[in-house]
Homo-oligomer: A and B are copies of this chain.
Amino acid sequence: METIKQNQTAEALKWRYATKVFDKTKKLSEEQLQLLKQAVQLAPSSYGLQPYQVLIVSNPEIKEKLKEAAFGQSQLTDASHIFVFARTHNFTEKHVDEYAINIAETRGIDVADIKGFVDVMKGTVNSRSQDELANWNAKQAYIALGVLLETAALHEIDACLMEGFNNAHFDGILGLADRNLTSVVIASVGFRSSDDGYQNLNKVRKSDGDLFIHI
Chain A residues within 8 Å of B, Cβ to Cβ: 1-16, 18, 31, 35, 37-44, 46, 48, 50, 53-59, 62, 99, 102-103, 106-107, 135, 138-140, 142-147, 149-151, 154-156, 161, 163, 174, 179, 185, 201-206, 208, 210-215
Q: Cα distance A138–B146 when bound, in Å?
A: 13
Q: Cα distance A9–B148 when bound, in Å?
A: 10
Contact A213 B179 (CB under 8 A): yes
Contact A204 B48 (CB under 8 A): yes
Cβ of A99: which chain B residues have Cβ within 8 Å of it?
204
Q: Cα distance A62–B67 when bound, in Å?
A: 49
Closest to A17 in B: B44
A42 to chain B, nearest CB (A): 4
Cβ of A7: which chain B residues have Cβ within 8 Å of it?
35
Contact A42 B55 (CB under 8 A): no
Contact A204 B106 (CB under 8 A): yes
Closest to A59 in B: B215
Contact B41 A211 (CB under 8 A): yes
Q: Cα distance A130–B127 when bound, in Å?
A: 23
Cβ of A13: which chain B residues have Cβ within 8 Å of it?
38-39, 42-43, 147
Cβ of A43: which chain B residues have Cβ within 8 Å of it?
13, 146
